[in-house]
Chain A
């Protein structure tokens, strides 16, 4: 991502970003087929722990929200809910072509087409599905971005919250559902 903004972080922020970059914990939102690419990435073949990355159980603990595949409207509501439970700084990685432009589900009545309309995506990893090599490559890029202070999606989300909210409501109606099964 070529961004021509000046690096105006304070030294403390730089140190903080250094820590964030070297300890990236992910919350996988295993929405689609991409989830199956994660185990090889994690285990001995590719070993993402080398980079200080690891899976986390809950959004509170995680830094990265990893969206691994297509998002139906129902899922997107829950993804947004999860994202809002995460603590800043937080990052979103879109995974596979479905999150980029809808992929093969581009004309489905139930799946969305562009993730970045609803959540601030810092990094897309394209492919259907991306291979672990691609994933590792993407993670390295993400780490680099964080270190340089370029992964600022969470700030963008804060600053343009109205815009994101409007997109969410346009496509989803309501984000939080209250019905017979959710009471």
Chain B
């Protein structure tokens, strides 16, 4: 645990996070200011956290905030680090980290597609990634209503007879 402790103290000293915690064994969570993310990632990459496991997002609709979560892993120490930062939900703009982790390009596209967060500097941001031909607000936002979407797009079966009548002809709609 010494490496953990020293890591935490290092992080505290270098990144001055808003708060730190240890959510699980060999995991560190640190909340930083949005504009500190870039520096923190660069610093941690230097410290051996060479892998960006994931970039994801949480929609805190009550606080009107998006929380971006970067999870890094160090193959030398075996430690995961979460970096969390909250940005304004109404103006969901953030800078890309592809200059530090080129692989973040696809994570950012994903977050953009599902939450609508825009990462300035990512060239491919507006290309579709998962959702083919999506035509509504980003689906993982809390204010998106999947039931309504499903009802509007995918007809429900109303009763058993409808299916039975299908083989007789498709003119019942």
Contacts and interface: CB of A to CB of B under 8 A. Distances in A.
A109 B128 CA distance: 17
Interface of A is mostly: loop
Interface residues of B, number: 28
State which size class the interface on A falls in.
Answer: 35 or more
A174 B132 CA distance: 9
A102 B158 CA distance: 12
B132 A179 contact: yes
Contacts of A172: 133
Contacts of A100: 157, 163
A165 B111 CA distance: 32
B46 interface: no
Contacts, number: 77
Contact of B155 (A1, A113, A177): A113
Interface of B is mostly: loop
Contacts of B156: 101-102, 106, 113-114
Interface of B: 124, 127-128, 131-133, 135-136, 139, 144, 146-147, 149-150, 153-157, 163-164, 166-171, 173
Given A109-B139, A114-B154, A160-B170, 13 more contacts: A109-B144, A109-B150, A110-B131, A114-B156, A116-B166, A117-B155, A121-B166, A163-B171, A170-B153, A171-B154, A171-B155, A174-B133, A177-B133
